[in-house]
Structure 1
Amino acid sequence: MYKFIMTLILALCGVAATAGPVTVAALGDSLTQGYGLPEGDGFVPQLQRWLGDHGADAVLINAGVSGDTTAGGAARVAWTLSPEVKAMIVALGGNDMLRGLDPAVTRANLETILTTADQAGVKVLLIGMQAPGNYGPDYKAEFDAIYPDLAAEHGALYAASFFEGLQEISSDPAALQPFMQADGIHPNAEGVTRIVAALGPKVLELVRAAQ
């Protein structure tokens, strides 16, 4: 009986020790950081509220840096993944693409990020990015393939685009103006709301996978 009681106590203590919210780091650029928006209207705070509304016990860390490239993300991922972080959203590559950087370099940097997460036992949601056609079909094909390829190789969850929630509305940039800031690049608060609604289920899946 004594052994049974002690086993039960130890089991309960183990449950108590592992219970609690899942800490999720959102590694990204200005889209993650919340550029041009009041603090509560950015991607991370809106996603935090969405997860709470959908019953997820999670705490999000805003690891977005405006203007960051995949090289910047690779340089800081190790210290972003502090011991309490159990999951990570990776939304990088937009600035690489805007600068016309070699897709092979972007792939190598993202490979570093995902490998670091693998070694830390951190679950990842990789958010894809698509290059415009003005760089030529070869560039676009090579760049666009990076994200699904790496997600498959590393067993990461995958979302095709950060802007999926807006792309569902229209493919015409003019039709999306009400959801964008004046620069036409960054979403406004309503745009972020729609982005979060589309990405939220994938992040919820990430949180559950990390529990």
Structure 2
Amino acid sequence: MKSAVIVFPGSNRDRDMFHALDMITGSRPQHVWHTESTLPDVDLVVVPGGFSYGDYLRSGAIAARSPILKDLVAKAHSGVAVLGVCNGFQILTEAGLLPGALMRNAGLTFVCKDIMMETVNNATRFSSQFQKGQVWRCPVAHHDGNYFADAETIRKVEDNNQVVFRYAEGTNPNGSLNNIAGITNAAGNVLGMMPHPENLVEPLHGGLDGRLLFESLLTAA
């Protein structure tokens, strides 16, 4: 599986994502600097976590207007798989590739800990290797992860089975509506999620729970 990781000023999980993809897929990803205008021909484009542009103005707002985003939007509309994690999720909503917005955590504090996630839709290219209803552990590290949308948008997202992951077992760390932790676009080829599966993929991380997401993408490719 060929993949690329977009890097912005302030990205801090791009190397973690690069390592996870390299280890699990057996193919080294390409780093793409945000000022580039064209993405390489790949099966997957990842927008990683971090604090692009220091979260200035609004998390992901400036990054969503970087030159590379024009081609990312075009690739997404053509069906290429796009994964946005944490700040990447924020960027994808700001770019209009995913509905809703990520607001300040309900507790107004930065949260860094492990939470539990439930896979509620395993019929996507990002989740096929999970069992439906499977509860698994995943780290979070964010200040603006509170997923919000108007009532009509939430209804559409739920009715279209675009919710892939929910916070489980009372571990919602940010106040997200309906415990939403990860959603896809209507076409199902773009996923945004706040937790960091790339940080739980090998024994040195203390667990392997996050591997199934990458193995799902590998199977799809």
TM score, norm. by length of structure 2: 0.43
More strand by share: 2
Structure exhibiting the larger radius of gyration computed from Cα positions: 1
Higher RCO, 1 or 2 (CA under 8 Å, sep at least 6)? 1
TM score, norm. by length of structure 1: 0.45
More helix by share: 1
